[in-house]
Amino acid sequence: MRKIIADSSSLILLYKCGAAGLFINGCCCIVPEAVRDELTAEGYKGSDFFKQYIENKALTVKTYSCDDDHGKKLHKGESGVISLYKDGAGEYVLIDDGYGAAYCRDNRIPYINALLAVKILLFGGIIDHEKYKAITEWLQSNGRYSTTVIEWAENAGYEELKAFLL
């Protein structure tokens, strides 16, 4: 199974559109403690879902050794995701935070966002085209994606994404 380090924003988006379980079950999904805390905060929609996945070990919580904050604009969760990647905990990063994605891009850390995660589910045969279209439309309407990001995700083909397949 592929080891993927995920940020809370991406997992929450995937949860809200009904794809989190499909993605998590298709890989070894790893989160830093700060992301676990965000996902399981009392009173938030989805917290029980993520608690169950952590309890069942489908979502793995790891600590990291690197203390670098990776820039002042990153929150603790995004910084933890990047630290885990630098520690060798995963093969790539799932992140929807703009600053976090820019950091990954600028530092050659392989990453995808929730839009691409759903496309990977399609390419892997985990969801059909009809479900892909419905989820993607929801993400485009409810996620904070620029037109450029949406267009890139729409045009990304199998060749661009094959390194990220589950």
Q: Which domains does the chain have, with CATH numbers?
A: 3-164 (3.40.50.1010)
pTM score? 0.94
By CB atoms closer than 10 A (0-12, 13-18, 19+), residue 156 is middle
User: What number is the average pLDDT over the span 138-156?
Assistant: 96
Q: What is the end-to-end Cα distance of the chain in Å, rounded?
A: 7
> What does the pLDDT read at residue 166?
87
β-strand 28-32 against 59-62: which pairing, if any?
Answer: parallel
Distance from C-alpha of 106 to C-alpha of 111, rounded to nearest angstrom:
11
> Could you report the per-residue pLDDT of 83-121, keeping only the tens digit for each?
999 999 999 999 999 999 999 999 999 999 999 999 999
Alpha-helical (H) ranges within the chain are: 8-16, 20-25, 33-39, 47-55, 76-86, 98-106, 114-123, 129-142, 147-155, 158-161
